[in-house]
């Protein structure tokens, strides 16, 4: 596992502060490189985590009906601009052969994938693929809705706009009734 190089981040931040015309030795900025390095260590702690690892713990339960965890909050960083995007993830799956996982495992997988430089589209697919591979359910649906600061703070400057991405696996691909049920439950 690669560790985050805090001193390298600190130096890079000092260079950025200087490059924008500020004084890195000014009182308010003096400890900023250290604070940013510490923050990046936390914000990017998912770089070395595999979300599939969260699904090693599996329970056998006589349940093959829908499991849905909705409104899982997350924060991530846009890999194109290194500014945050944040929102909610919704995860639904139809267990096969009674193979279920702890509900917190779903939230932990979202967190691990979010805590790295990321694209929302990729994040959605990685989570769905991890669940599909490890739990082997009848179907999986992951929906992520997020606001991107790269659209809010810069460029088009449209605060409040949300991006919604989906990843669907297994029998949910062609089961429009089940997909509709999931969407209705998410909206409720």
Say if residue 68 is in the same domain as residue 132.
yes
Domain that holds residue 71: 57-187
The whole-chain average pLDDT of the chain stands at 96
> On the CB side of 83, how many CA atoms lie within 13 Å of its CA?
11
Q: Which residues are catalytic?
A: 78-81, 120, 148, 150
Beta-strand pair 58-60/67-78: unpaired
Question: Tell me: the pLDDT tens digits for 24-79?
Answer: 999 999 999 999 999 999 999 999 999 999 999 899 999 999 999 999 999 999 99
Q: Which of 107, 102, 126, 101 is nearest to 47 (CA)?
A: 126
User: Residues 39, 61: one domain?
Assistant: no
pTM metric for this prediction:
0.94
* Interval 133-165: pLDDT, tens: 999 999 999 999 999 999 999 889 999 999 999
Same domain (yes/no): 30, 104: no
Residues 96 and 172 both lie in one domain: yes
3 — pLDDT class (breaks 50, 70, 90): confident
Q: For strand 99-101 and strand 163-170, is the pairing parallel, antiparallel, or unpaired?
A: unpaired
**36 in helix, strand or coil?**
helix
Q: What CATH number has the domain bearing residue 33?
A: 1.10.286.10
Q: Quick check: 107 and 51 in contact, CB under 8 A?
A: no
């Amino acid at each position: 596992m690669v560790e985050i190089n805090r001193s390298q981040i600190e130096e890079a931040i000092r260079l950025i502060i200087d490059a924008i015309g500020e004084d890195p030795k000014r009182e308010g900025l003096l400890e900023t490189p250290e604070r940013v390095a510490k923050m990046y260590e936390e914000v990017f702690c998912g770089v070395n985590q595999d979300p599939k690892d969260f699904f090693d713990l599996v329970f056998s339960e006589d349940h093959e009906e829908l499991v849905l965890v909705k409104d899982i909050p997350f924060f991530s960083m846009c890999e194109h601009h290194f500014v945050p995007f944040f929102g909610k993830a919704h995860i639904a799956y139809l267990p096969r052969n009674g193979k279920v996982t702890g509900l917190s495992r779903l939230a932990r997988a979202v967190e691990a994938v979010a805590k790295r430089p990321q694209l929302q589209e990729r994040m959605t697919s990685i989570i769905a693929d991890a669940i599909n591979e490890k739990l082997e359910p009848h179907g999986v649906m992951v929906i992520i809705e997020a606001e991107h600061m790269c659209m809010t703070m810069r460029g088009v400057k449209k605060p409040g706009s949300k991006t919604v991405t989906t990843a669907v696996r297994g029998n949910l691909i062609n089961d429009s009734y089940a997909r509709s049920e999931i969407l209705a439950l998410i909206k409720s």
